[in-house]
Chains A and B, each alone.
Chain A
Amino acid sequence: MTRSSVTALHGPRVLAALSGGSEDAALIRSAHRLAERERLPWGAVHVDGGHNDADRRLILEQDASRVARLGGEMHMVQGQDRAAELLHYADEHRVATLLVGCSRPSGWRFWRRSLPERLLRSGGAFDLVMIAETRKRPRFRPRRTWQRLHLREPVIAGVSSLGALGAAWLLQAWLELANLSLVFLAAVLASAALAGTRAAMLSALLGFLSFNFFFTQPRFSLAILEKEQLLSVVFFLLVAVVVGQLAGTGRRRLHALRHSREQSQRLLAYSRSLSAATDRDQVCDIGLTSLERWLHVPVAFLDFEPGGSRPSIHQAIPQGTVLDATALTAASWSWQHRRPSGVGTGQLDEDDQDWRMLPLSARGRIIGVVGLELGQRPAPLQPDHEALLESLLGQFAMALERTRLVGELETTRLSEENERLRSALLSSVSHDLRTPLASIIGSASSLRDLGTQLSHQDKAELLDGILSESERLDRYIQNLLDMTRLGHGNLRIERDWISLDDLVAAAVQRLGPAALDTLDLQLDWPIGLPLLHVHPALIEQALVNVIDNAARFSPPGGQIRLQGRLDNDHRQLEIRVMDQGPGIAPEMRETVFDMFHTGSEGDRSRYGSGLGLAICRGMVGAHGGSVDARLGPQGRGTMITLHLPLPVAAPTQDQETHHDE
């Protein structure tokens, strides 16, 4: 016996006892209403005795979802005695009001009291409310369908009885008459185990008759003379009926358990594979594949344009499945009304339909429609299949919704990132454009407005300032353009042979004298370095940015050393730019290469726009090289190293080479 472990304090105070019958709906409604009025937590419980047929299981599934929808809790309790289990549960959870249906005790056990009666007699500490069924229905339920009689039931009963007869005939010399009945009892048990209660009952009847006919006096007649023998036969019948019933119930319960285990395993496997799916297409694929494998009919997932009503097949299995106009109409209907339509739903003139359309919705939003070509199945779906189908589709819808939410989250994150980058770009660009402009405008307005009061030297100085700041602005705009090109990935690399001497000369020239004003630039590389095969303008820009950076951080009169060397296995040329500035903190040595890493600091940073080093890395990276920042020599300043891969067979410098700049 297992019970759900709910602490008494938080358990339902209003409890509906569900049976899986038609009165459940009324019970749930009443319990909910009562609980609302009293402002108490409520719930429902079902005592599962192991003999719920498919109909009852379907009703219970619906009950569970109804209870959940109305905010209650549904619990299942395993046990044979409904009244006792209910009492125990109510006691344990301190239930204040128990609602039960007024159903009659089941069929043949006429001597049993009804459930309400038994609950009343046991006198639990709760109010008992009996709910009459609201739906009219015949007293004896014609719905209680006998499962179809299989041929194997009478056959097994007959064969086992015949076997028992033979065995008893052989054993009659050694066994007393009363003991011979045990042989027939064995046949009853065997029938029960193999074919269920009905076969057992048949076997009991056959056993009774043959025992009576062949073994009691007078033999070969159904008449019985001795009172003792009559008792034996009657006892046999009684024992056989009871044992057969019990064994049959055991078998049925085993079947039910196996069945529900299969269903839950199918559901589990399904939800596991769905939860592993990362996008909509994968979810569709997994969902449809499992449906197809299970039902063996073509399945399709239909999608609708936002606002439109024309369905389009998002995915179908087997591929290339087509839907006729009727099916598409059904799909549109289901989309609009959010209700299933087509085969087995009673909607839209079932006879013309081959498909059943089932809308998928999550959180009140319709996501799509799943079509099943159930017309291809010989028989309609079993009620428990319907229940499983509903669960599978529920999971399907949830998985689709999950992927949609994940996608949305990702989009939001990306646009936030973009927004952040954009504002960093704007503040950085505006600052970097405005700083040289401030000098230019200030100097130019001084020249115009105060011209007469300025000495020659002052005027020259102001003009120099205007020029050098204009050059700085130009470099910055070049960087911006380069960055745009790098960002769009349409940077065309036109390689040419060029020596390090030429590259450095061009870079220093572009920086202009003002940038390196008071600084001491030292160039240091061995003669005969191999030529580089690079896009000269791009690498020159990379060098300009690194040297500009070093100059900006150098103390007045500081030294900038530019060193060129081959790496150990002669595959790369290393260009090192070392300054005597404040250096870069170890944790910043990677982030200085991020675009706009200084953006958040705005005006306060001397790193400039944060574009220079990022562009340097981009340019060198485009050539298959790399750039890193390290502590300068003697633990002072910064050393930025450009690693440029050399071509396999590099011409040496004495071959005449050119680059057109």
Chain B
Amino acid sequence: MTNERDKVLVIDDEPQIRRFLRISLVSQGFSVIEADTGAQGIARAREETPDLVLLDLGLPDMDGQAVLDELRAQGSVPVIIVSVRGQEAEKVRALDSGANDYVTKPFGIQELLARVRSLLRHQKSPDTTEGVEHYRHAGLTVDLSAHRVSLHGTSVRLTPKEYAVLALLVRQAGRVVTQAQLLRDVWGASHTHDSHYLRIVISKLRHKLGDDPQSPRLLQTEAGIGYRLLAPRDVAT
């Protein structure tokens, strides 16, 4: 599914991390360009027009957030935030201001590759192909164009809110959707802090879809950030 020479820009100040990312990504058929500062990263993104950016939030010369803003000003290149745990607030801020996904350091290579593939797939096939209008995984089938949800062939009755949340997650399948985004899109801009609405709807959805929060096959909680509807490839990790 991956284009042979997708170009990935790695912006990270740690040479060892850049090195293993380069080796791994190149072995998977990507071409890799590197930058060790934010300024260099912005410059290379402009020159080389990468298909995807891996952005470390902790850069020596400037805030990762500022780099993200700059990248967004240039275009809509998908950005995956790479950062250490304990920066949840920063991750949420980055996701809310346009980053597409994140991975937490330290991470296994498969996790990263799954995120990269998922994003590139989405990038290549805007709203038309399967995976966006249609979702099929772990017995769950969602057909957004037909407004149909079924579990193991049996149709599932969802309330409008439940459906709206599920639809949003399906459109971003495999990627994290922040709590604020879910609340804003489903309940409206004035409810971005009413996270209890979301908790209730998610737990009902889980119940109706037969998903176990302890070992989710479908709805994964990203603590402090939001939710992710697992895509077929994610589970392979």
Contact = CB atoms under 8 A, between A and B. Distances in A.
Task: Check if A and B associate.
Answer: yes
A455 B27 CA distance: 8
A453 B26 CA distance: 10
B105 A434 contact: yes
A442 B86 contact: no
Contacts of B58: 431, 602-604
Contact of A434 (B13, B28, B60, B84): B84
B186 interface: no
Contacts of B84: 430-431, 434-435, 438, 603
Contacts of A602: 58, 87
Interface stretch (A226-234, A458-466, A636-644): A458-466
Interface stretch (B16-24, B140-148, B190-198): B16-24
B105 A435 contact: yes
A468 interface: yes
B16 A465 contact: yes
Contacts of A453: 27-28
Nearest to A440: B106
Given A435-B105, A442-B109, A427 B16 contact: no
Nearest to B27: A453
A153 interface: no
A418 interface: no
B86 A430 contact: yes
A278 interface: no
A221 interface: no
A219 interface: no
A359 interface: no
Given A436-B16, A446-B24, A603-B84, A441 B63 contact: no
Contacts of B107: 438, 441-442
A438 B108 contact: no
B59 interface: yes
B110 interface: yes
A458 B86 CA distance: 32
B105 A450 contact: no
Given A449-B109, A450-B27, A604 B59 contact: yes
A414 to B, nearest CB: 26
Nearest to A454: B27
Nearest to A604: B58
Interface of B: 13-14, 16-17, 19-21, 23-24, 26-28, 57-60, 63, 83-87, 105-110, 112
23 contacts: A427-B86, A434-B85, A434-B105, A434-B106, A436-B16, A438-B17, A438-B105, A439-B14, A442-B20, A442-B21, A442-B24, A442-B107, A445-B110, A446-B20, A446-B23, A450-B24, A450-B109, A458-B26, A465-B16, A603-B57, A603-B84, A605-B60, A606-B13
Interface of A: 427, 430-431, 434-443, 445-446, 449-450, 453-455, 458, 461-462, 465, 468-469, 602-606
- CB-based closest 4 A-B pairs: A603-B58, A439-B16, A438-B106, A445-B108
